[in-house]
């Protein structure tokens, strides 16, 4: 079984400060890891993914995430937050070795609030 945990329901940060949204995962094999963002009244948008290779992954809108295998984490980061980054962020995992199941398992989501 695969699972994802986003321990923070909400993260508050001031504009211009760095932000981190936490994600930890559990899979039986090797993970594919994803971050999605959901703006109000919009569908989910893909931000970035880790498949293999460099542990630091860069994605859309200046976001990046670091894969840490020993800590089974994939935290989302941005050096300088913008008010427009305020949204709901979802971390997701898929077991690379699970050929029969291709579904993504999502975390519960973290609401990011960036204050001016």
Partner 1 sequence: GAGVSQSPSNKVTEKGKDVELRCDPISGHTALYWYRQSLGQGLEFLIYFQGNSAPDKSGLPSDRFSAERTGGSVSTLTIQRTQQEDSAVYLCASSLDRAGTFGSGTRLTVV
Nearest CB to partner 1, comparing residues 16 and 101:
101
Residue 50 burial by CB count (10 A; 0-12/13-18/19+): exposed, middle or buried? buried
CB of 41 to partner 1, least distance (A): 8
**By the rule CB under 8 A, 82 interacts with partner 1:** no
What residues contact residue 47 under an 8 Å CB cut-off, 6+ apart? 34, 35, 36, 37, 59, 60, 61, 63, 76, 89
- 52 CB neighbour count, 10 Å cutoff: 9
Nearest CB to partner 1, comparing residues 15 and 111:
111
CB of 90 to partner 1, least distance (A): 6
**By the rule CB under 8 A, 103 interacts with partner 1:** yes
Interface positions with partner 1 (CB under 8 A): 32, 34, 36, 41-46, 49, 51, 90, 92, 94, 100-109
């Amino acid at each position: 079984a695969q699972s994802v945990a986003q321990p923070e329901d909400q993260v508050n940060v001031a504009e211009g400060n760095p932000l981190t949204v936490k994600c930890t995962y559990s899979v039986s094999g090797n993970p594919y890891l994803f971050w999605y963002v959901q703006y109000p009244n919009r569908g989910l948008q893909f931000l970035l993914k880790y498949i293999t290779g460099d542990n630091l992954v860069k994605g859309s809108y200046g976001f990046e995430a670091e894969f840490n295998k020993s800590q089974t984490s994939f935290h989302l980061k941005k050096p300088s937050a913008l008010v427009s980054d305020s949204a709901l962020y979802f971390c997701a995992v898929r077991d690379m070795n699970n050929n029969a199941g291709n579904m993504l398992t999502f975390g519960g989501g973290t609401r990011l609030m960036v204050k001016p």
